[in-house]
């Protein structure tokens, strides 16, 4: 019933909390990347339970994918990219110190789903500011 968060030891957002995450390596699946990043940042081995959120962040040309996971063992520690790693109850999460909007959205969605007793797959977008839909996409919507 707790969430594993890592306090970042690197920029961007040094000193802020995040879910274990990072960039994929070549020839790696999204699942393999999730497990590797969790190990590198939190020295934790996990069983993935499925895709949870996929959030497009077009202004930085990224898509952030988060999986539901369970710890295989109750051991974890700060990896090279983390200052601290900790399990949090919902009420103890340092919401004002969450590193990225995609992490905050994924956490809030997790707790909403948990209250409902069912976990879905959530696909959304985050925009820094209002934007026009690119012409090549707008043409497809007509």
Q: Enter the pTM of the model.
A: 0.93
The structural domain count of the chain equals 1
Q: In degrees, to the nearest 5, what angle opens at C-alpha 110 toward C-alphas 108 and 111?
A: 70
The pLDDT value recorded for residue 57 is: 97
Sheet holding 62-71, edge to edge: 62-71, 46-57, 122-125
Task: Say whether the peptide bond before residue 12 is cis (omega within 30 degrees of 0).
Answer: yes
Show the low-confidence residues of the chain (pLDDT under 50).
none
- The pLDDT tens digits for 95-105 are 999 999 999 99
The pLDDT value recorded for residue 28 is: 98
The pLDDT value recorded for residue 94 is: 98
Q: Which domain holds residue 54?
A: 3-141
Provide the CATH number for the domain around residue 25. 3.90.79.10
């Amino acid at each position: 019933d707790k969430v594993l968060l890592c306090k970042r030891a690197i920029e961007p957002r040094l000193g802020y909390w995040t879910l274990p995450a990072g960039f994929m390596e070549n020839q790696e699946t999204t699942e393999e990347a999730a497990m590797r990043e969790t190990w590198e940042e939190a020295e934790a081995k996990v069983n993935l339970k499925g895709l949870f959120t996929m959030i497009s962040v077009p202004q930085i040309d990224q898509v952030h994918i988060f999986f539901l996971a369970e710890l295989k063992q109750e051991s974890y520690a700060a990896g090279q990219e983390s200052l601290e790693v900790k399990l949090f109850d919902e009420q103890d999460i340092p919401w004002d110190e969450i590193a990225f909007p995609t992490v905050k959205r994924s956490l809030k969605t997790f707790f909403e789903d948990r209250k409902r007793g069912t976990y879905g797959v959530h696909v959304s977008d985050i925009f820094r500011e209002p934007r026009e839909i690119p012409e090549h996409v707008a043409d497809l919507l007509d």
